[in-house]
Structure 1
Amino acid sequence: MVKKQILFVMGVSGSGKSTIGKLLAEKLNIPFFDGDNFHPEANVKKMSEGKPLNDNDRQGWLECLNKVAIENISTGAVIVCSALKERYRNILGQNLEGKHQIIYLNGSFELISNRLNKRKNHFMPKGLLQSQFDTLEIPTNAISISIEQAPDDIVNNIINKL
């Protein structure tokens, strides 16, 4: 039995955060929150124009996701967001000591680029992928999962590691 906790599923755009997060939440019977739905309109507009977000753009968004996490601490939840820097993960985990886990969906630039080429109607343009890889600080205290397997296998691996 997996203990109730907040599970932050992180990775670059196209790594499968939403797909894996939804499946994981379903399997654990806990709420699912897609971090993209919490971006202010200005952030979505900026990304749609092909401009990467800076730390100032992300600050309020990360604080909002932390609030969502705190509000769901008693039930547990899956929250997906890029969380590319250690600083961002620290904001997400504020006041959650021992009650959250970072799950890093790990994949190569080539694999993720190919996935993004097949995506339709997403506000994150493929051209921003390189900036995400450039920004990425690989987490050291996270469950790292290769995305080179079927979604159900990824979710089962996560649950086994929890």
Structure 2
Amino acid sequence: MTGDVAGKPLIVVMGVCGCGKSTVGELMAHELGVPFLDGDSLHPAENVAKMAAGTPLTDKDRWPWLATAGTRLRDAGEGGLVLACSALRRSYRDAIRAQAPDTLFLHLHGSRKVLEQRLAARSGHFMPAALLDSQLTTLEPLEADELGLVIDIARPLQQVLAGAINSLTGGVGVTETSAYTHRR
């Protein structure tokens, strides 16, 4: 699967913990020929320590991190970038778009059951499964005026990736009733 996107895209792969942001983001960046950046690497040590202890971040904790994420996207410019970043609230996505207005958000959406299974299977990540409830409560779905795609993660990884790439490159017609929802 390959595809040429007109220009190099700026994409945020978003969603709650365990949805596969880093995995899908890294594979997508490879397919699109752009760099990948895991937003977790942009968190200051204090944020990582809070999350590792099971304490949800506050907006005060997040704003500098979101500004950094937006700046990285802006600075990528025409070279493109795929960034894994939870971007759970509209205001968080707006903060990123303030720096990089043409950013597309790819929301990896899954049921609680799928997310819990994935979290139980992963090891070595600082984000504990106990924070899933907090993230699901915080999550605000993409709105109709936001440039983005919603992808159902219940499908196999290669189907999730193919659906996202095809939607970005115009290879698939996307409707509300399909597994892939395009917003704008």
TM-score by structure 2 length?
Answer: 0.85
Q: How many residues end up aligned between the 2 structures?
A: 161
Structure-2 change in CA distance of 1:93 and 1:23 (3 Å): same
Gaps of 5+ in 1: none
Partner secondary structure for residue 104 of structure 1: strand
Matched ranges for 1:56-67 at <5 A = 56-67=60-71
Is 1:44–2:54 an aligned residue pair? no
Q: CA RMSD in A?
A: 0.9
- Match for residue 135 of structure 2? 132
Stretches of 4+ aligned residues off by more than 4 angstroms: none
8 Å CA contact retained: 2:66, 2:92: yes
Cα distance in structure 2, aligned partners of 1:75 and 1:130: 36
Q: State percent identity of aligned pairs.
A: 40
* Distance (whole Å) between structure 2 residues aligned to residue 115 and residue 14 of structure 1: 6
Residue in 1 that maps onto 2:111: 108
Within 2, Cα distance between the matches of 1:86 and 1:44? 22
Q: Which residue of 2 aligns with 1:93?
A: 97
CA contact (8 A) 1:2 1:159 kept: no
The one of 79, 85, 96 equivalent to 1:81 is 85
CA distance in 1, matches of 2:130, 2:99: 35
**What SS class does the counterpart of residue 2 from structure 1 fall into?**
coil
Give 1:151's aligned residue: 157
**Is the CA contact (8 Å cut-off) linking 2:67 and 2:99 kept in structure 1?**
no
Distance 1:80 1:96 in 2: 15
Question: Is the Cα–Cα contact under 8 Å of residues 19 and 109 in structure 2 kept in the other structure?
Answer: yes
Greater relative contact order, per chain length (Cα 8 Å cut-off, separation 6+): 1
C-alpha distance after superposition, 1:80-101 (max 9, x if no partner): 110000000001111423x220
Q: CA deviation at 1:40?
A: 0.2
TM-score, scaled relative to structure 1? 0.96
Distance between the aligned counterparts of 1:156 and 1:121, measured in 2? 28
Q: Secondary structure at the match of 1:43?
A: helix
Q: Does structure 1 conserve the Cα–Cα contact (< 8 Å) formed by 2:17 and 2:132?
A: yes
